[in-house]
């Protein structure tokens, strides 16, 4: 490998693939290296819900920007990406959660995000399998779902059409402060800058990075077209996703285009193995049954786990690392990396090419964590 590149991207998950496409489109000479196949890491384990979330202003800005980029790309996505603008239904169990529904609707409306407050009966009409008696909910019709590994492959093909090179089955041993990487066989490849898009494994290449593995379980069923028609999520999901507790579950179901139902989700720290954890799986499915009692009649065919890359403030790390301005980061996307891959790539390419960014980039800068940051902060 005697060549030199402007950018080496380590990681061919959806974030690395999106960054490669944006950098190659910007005229940079790009090499993407992954020790596994394209989209075979967390991207293969994720749910593929493209969603606007508002846990913080910065999260809202990045998810909204990213969703608008997905909308722009939607017409180009091949059928196997299974893009489906089915919308999100946030379900409120009681009046307290309805207050949150109204707060969200106001905030979204002010920012131009279309959302509709629904009462319990309207919800039942849209989703007859939901248990009767829920208080109501919020419908966000422009949210969507897709199949993440195919989306990663598509983005990488876009990069390749612009001249990017992709090498799979090649492990990176270390990132060089002067730019470039050392591969597992000891050879070096030089580049102006390196981007670590290595998801939950980022601390292996950048020790001390404030990224922790947060395990999640998903279950997929046989095909039951129309069992649900939206990505349905309990409002309590927000507490589960944003709480710092060790273990949590929340009801979340996605209708796949082929009729399969994808059911989530759980969150666990200090669970680095990939084994299915039966007690947490039971809790997760019991939670889903509370919202969809007839789910018990469906046949599940597979269960798997994956690890989200969690940062202390629930925002990704996008930009130059603390170690060197030639080592950049695009990681820490927790449970939103499918959604925010495109926004991450847009910001990263704009920063690398000295262009104005579409949204302020500072909230995602790795510089927000002092060098002494501990992963337990």
Ligand X SMILES: Cc1cc2nc3c(=O)[nH]c(=O)nc-3n(C[C@H](O)[C@H](O)[C@H](O)COP(=O)(O)OP(=O)(O)OC[C@H]3O[C@@H](n4cnc5c(N)ncnc54)[C@H](O)[C@@H]3O)c2cc1C
Q: Which of residues 229-268 bind ligand X (CB under 6 A)?
A: 264-265
Q: What is the Cα–Cα distance from 130 to 140, expressed in whole angstroms?
A: 17
Spatial CB neighbours of 359, under 8 Å, sequence gap ≥ 6:
61, 62, 65, 343, 347
Q: What is the Cα–Cα distance from 14 to 55, expressed in whole angstroms?
A: 23
Return the residue of 20, 30, 31, 34 that touches ligand X, per CB under 6 A.
34
Binding mask 73-112 for ligand X (x = CB under 6 A): ----------------------------------------
Please count the helices (runs of H) and the strands (runs of E) in the chain.
Answer: 10, 18
Taking CB under 6 A as the rule, does residue 19 contact ligand X? no
Taking CB under 6 A as the rule, does residue 35 contact ligand X? yes
The answer to whether the CB of 35 falls within 8 A of the CB of 25 is no
Q: Please identify, among the stretches 13-21, 103-111, 134-142, 293-301, the one whose residues bind ligand X according to the rule CB under 6 A.
A: 13-21
Q: Using the structure block, give the residue that is written with the tokens 């997760």.
A: 284
Return the residue of 86, 218, 232, 263 that touches ligand X, per CB under 6 A.
218
Q: Which of residues 37-76 bind ligand X (CB under 6 A)?
A: 40-43, 45-49
Taking CB under 6 A as the rule, does residue 11 contact ligand X? yes
Question: What are the angstrom distances between the C-alpha of 370 and each of 57, 67, 236, 352, 367?
Answer: 22, 30, 32, 22, 7
Strand ranges (DSSP E) for 201-241?
212-223, 231-234
Q: Which pair of tokens denotes residue 20?
A: 């490669």
Q: How do strand 231-234 and strand 116-119 relate by DSSP bridges?
A: unpaired
Return the residue of 87, 180, 320, 335 that touches ligand X, per CB under 6 A.
335
Q: What is the Cα–Cα distance from 150 to 39, expressed in whole angstroms?
A: 8
What is the DSSP secondary structure assignment for residue 322, as one 8-state letter?
Answer: S
Angle, in degrees to the nearest 10, between helices 148-161 and 337-352: 20
Q: Which pair of tokens denotes residue 355?
A: 């262009």
Q: Please identify, among the stretches 128-136, 220-228, 275-283, 330-338, the one whose residues bind ligand X according to the rule CB under 6 A.
A: 330-338
Nearer of residues 201 and 369 to ligand X, judged by Cβ: 201
Nearest to residue 267, comparing CAs of 285, 245, 282, 287?
A: 245
Nearer of residues 44 and 361 to ligand X, judged by Cβ: 44
Return the residue of 101, 288, 336, 352 that touches ligand X, per CB under 6 A.
336
Nearest to residue 48, comparing CAs of 77, 5, 11, 27?
A: 77
Nearer of residues 15 and 361 to ligand X, judged by Cβ: 15
Residue nearest to ligand X (CB): 337
CB of 358: closest distance to ligand X in angstroms?
Answer: 18
CB of 121: closest distance to ligand X in angstroms?
Answer: 28
Taking CB under 6 A as the rule, does residue 318 contact ligand X? no
Q: Which of residues 170-209 bind ligand X (CB under 6 A)?
A: 171-172, 197-199, 201, 204-205
Return the residue of 29, 104, 308, 314 that touches ligand X, per CB under 6 A.
308
Q: How many CA atoms lie within 13 A of 377 on its CB side?
A: 17
Work out the number of other CB atoms within 10 angstroms of the CB of residue 201: 19
Decide: helix, strand or coil at residue 255.
Answer: strand
Return the residue of 33, 69, 233, 359 that touches ligand X, per CB under 6 A.
33
CB of 159: closest distance to ligand X in angstroms?
Answer: 13
Return the residue of 331, 345, 347, 364 that touches ligand X, per CB under 6 A.
331
Nearer of residues 9 and 292 to ligand X, judged by Cβ: 9
Taking CB under 6 A as the rule, does residue 366 contact ligand X? no
CB of 255: closest distance to ligand X in angstroms?
Answer: 13
Beta bridge partners of 116: 139
CB of 363: closest distance to ligand X in angstroms?
Answer: 17
Work out the number of other CB atoms within 10 angstroms of the CB of residue 163: 11
CB of 233: closest distance to ligand X in angstroms?
Answer: 9
The answer to whether the CB of 182 falls within 8 A of the CB of 238 is no
Residues forming contacts to ligand X in the complex (CB under 6 A) are 10-16, 33-36, 40-43, 45-49, 171-172, 197-199, 201, 204-205, 216, 218, 264-265, 306, 308, 331, 333, 335-339
């Amino acid at each position: 490998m005697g060549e030199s590149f402007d950018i080496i991207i380590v990681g061919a998950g959806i974030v690395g693939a999106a960054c490669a496409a944006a950098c190659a489109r910007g005229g940079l000479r790009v090499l993407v290296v992954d020790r596994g196949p394209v989209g075979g890491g967390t991207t293969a384990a994720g749910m593929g819900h493209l969603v606007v979330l508002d846990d913080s202003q910065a999260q809202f800005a990045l998810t909204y920007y990213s969703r608008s980029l997905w909308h722009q790309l939607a017409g180009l996505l091949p059928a196997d990406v299974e893009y489906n603008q089915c919308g999100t239904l946030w379900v409120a169990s009681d009046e307290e959660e309805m207050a949150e529904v109204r707060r969200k609707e106001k905030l979204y409306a002010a920012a131009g995000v279309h959302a509709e407050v629904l009462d319990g009966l309207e919800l039942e009409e849209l989703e007859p399998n939901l248990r009767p008696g829920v208080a109501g909910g919020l419908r966000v019709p422009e949210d969507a779902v897709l199949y993440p590994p195919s989306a990663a492959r598509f983005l990488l093909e876009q990069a390749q059409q612009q001249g990017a090179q992709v090498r799979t089955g090649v492990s990176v041993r270390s990132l060089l402060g002067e730019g470039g990487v050392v591969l597992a066989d000891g050879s070096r490849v030089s580049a102006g800058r390196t981007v670590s898009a290595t998801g939950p494994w980022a601390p292996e290449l950048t020790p001390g990075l404030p990224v922790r593995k947060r395990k999640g379980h998903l279950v997929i069923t046989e095909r039951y077209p129309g069992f649900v028609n939206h990505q349905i999520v309990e409002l309590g999901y927000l507490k589960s996703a944003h709480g710092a507790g060790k273990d949590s579950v929340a009801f979340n179901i996605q209708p796949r285009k082929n009729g399969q139902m994808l059911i989530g989700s759980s969150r666990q720290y200090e669970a680095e193995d990939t084994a299915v954890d039966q007690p947490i799986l039971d809790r997760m499915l019991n939670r889903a049954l509370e919202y969809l009692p007839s789910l018990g009649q469906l046949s599940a065919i597979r269960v798997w786990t994956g690890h989200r890359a969690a940062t202390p403030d629930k925002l990704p790390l996008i930009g130059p690392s603390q170690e060197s301005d030639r080592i950049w980061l695009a990681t820490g996307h927790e449970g939103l990396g499918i959604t925010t891959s495109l926004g991450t790539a847009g910001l990263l390419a704009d920063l690398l090419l000295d262009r104005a960014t579409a949204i302020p980039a500072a909230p995602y800068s790795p510089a927000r964590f002092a060098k002494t940051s501990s992963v337990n902060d």
